[in-house]
């Protein structure tokens, strides 16, 4: 186990946590620093922090501790697409079940795999011809589920237009802290763009973009204070569902940015299941693959941890109720 203790000085105040740690010359690359943060090896003022973009302040006491074996586990577990991730393939449209942890698009770290090169690698492994893929829309890195990729610019434009015109029906599943006051409700709010410094989306009274999401509670465990919620967003703003659920006292379990500490800590088994990624899953998309065609409904199975959490928590999932 390697351990470092640091104190933030005046000159470093306001820096991102990962940038500060790289500047501290611990002998770790920025990518490795982020891995240490991901495995829970960084503490700020004795509190574990898992958000690399968190700003540090003068006087903050920071501890970094990790083992090489824990980082090897993270590297080995980097998500990849398997053949069963292919959900739909026709008319120049490919739908895949994106695993949690796989970025939708390229990040600043060019060594990190994302959807398009991962799909290219899958096609190559299956002996399929090289195909020019274009990402149609995005999911947050930790969000799993249906995502569409086009094989031509024209098809990408056709699909993008459907999203813009709100012709695509989207259904998400979320595991949340809290129990809703109503079984069905709608949230309308003005949201900002993602703040470049903090990475947060905020609710504003004016100046933001309208965001609308309809929610329905599918199951709840009042003793544990948790719920399974179906989410139907009309609009497609960044972090929309995550922010809307937080506004209604139902932050997503495992959401490092918007959930905050739970008033009722989860049992150890459930806490472990929620430690790697938040529980938001793009369960289905309904879209028209071509002009004049009937809408196609594509469903994506939930990730193993999502299913295991539902089973272990006593929540119930009935696909016919979504």
Q: 222, 163 in Cβ contact below 8 A?
A: no
β-sheet bridge partners, residue 42: 64
Structure tokens belonging to residue 272: 């472990």
Q: How far is CA 34 from the centre of its chain?
A: 16
Q: Let me know if 140 is a catalytic residue.
A: yes
Supply φ then ψ for residue 116, to 5 degrees: -60, -55
3-state secondary structure of 24: coil
Q: 88, 298 in Cβ contact below 8 A?
A: yes
Annotated active-site residue in 38, 60, 140, 255: 140
Residue 134 to residues 106, 120, 131, 154, Cα–Cα distance (Å): 12, 11, 10, 10
CB atoms within 10 A of CB 33: 23
Per 3-state DSSP, the chain is made up of helix, strand and coil in percentages (nearest 5) of 25, 30, 45
149-154 contacts, C-beta under 8 A, 24 or more apart: 149/93, 149/94, 149/95, 149/96, 149/115, 149/116, 149/119, 150/92, 150/93, 150/94, 151/92, 151/93, 151/94, 152/92, 154/92
**Helix (H) and strand (E) counts for the chain?**
8, 15
β-sheet bridge partners, residue 164: none
- Active-site positions read 140
């Amino acid at each position: 186990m390697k351990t470092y203790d640091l104190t933030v000085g005046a000159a470093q105040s306001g820096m991102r946590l990962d940038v500060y740690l790289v500047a501290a010359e611990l002998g770790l690359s920025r990518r490795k620093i982020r891995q240490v943060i991901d495995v829970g090896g960084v503490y700020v003022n004795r509190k574990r922090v898992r958000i690399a973009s968190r700003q540090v302040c003068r006087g903050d006491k920071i501890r970094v501790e990790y083992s090489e074996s824990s980082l090897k586990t993270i590297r080995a577990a980097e998500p990849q697409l398997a053949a069963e991730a292919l959900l739909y393939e026709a008319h120049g449209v490919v739908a895949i079940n994106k695993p949690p942890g796989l970025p939708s698009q390229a990040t600043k770290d060019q060594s990190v795999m994302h959807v398009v090169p991962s799909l290219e690698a899958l096609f190559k492994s299956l002996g399929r011809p090289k195909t020019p893929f274009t990402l149609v829309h995005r999911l947050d890195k930790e969000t799993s589920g249906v995502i569409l990729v086009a094989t031509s610019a024209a098809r990408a434009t056709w699909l993008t237009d459907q999203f813009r015109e709100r012709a695509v029906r989207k259904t998400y599943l979320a595991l949340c802290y809290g129990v809703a006051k109503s079984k069905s409700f709608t949230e309308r709010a003005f949201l900002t763009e993602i703040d470049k410094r903090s990475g947060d989306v905020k609710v504003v009274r004016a100046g933001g973009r309208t965001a609308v999401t309809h929610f329905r509670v599918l199951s709840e465990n009042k003793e544990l204070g948790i719920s399974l919620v179906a989410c139907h967003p009309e609009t497609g703003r960044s972090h929309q569902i995550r922010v809307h659920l937080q506004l209604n006292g139902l932050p997503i379990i495992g959401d490092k940015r918007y959930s905050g500490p739970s008033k009722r800590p989860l049992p150890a088994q459930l806490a472990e299941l929620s430690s790697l990624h938040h529980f938001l899953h793009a369960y289905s998309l309904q879209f028209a693959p071509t002009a004049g065609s009937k809408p196609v409904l594509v469903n994506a199975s939930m990730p193993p941890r999502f299913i295991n959490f539902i089973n272990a928590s006593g929540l119930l999932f009935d696909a016919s109720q979504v």
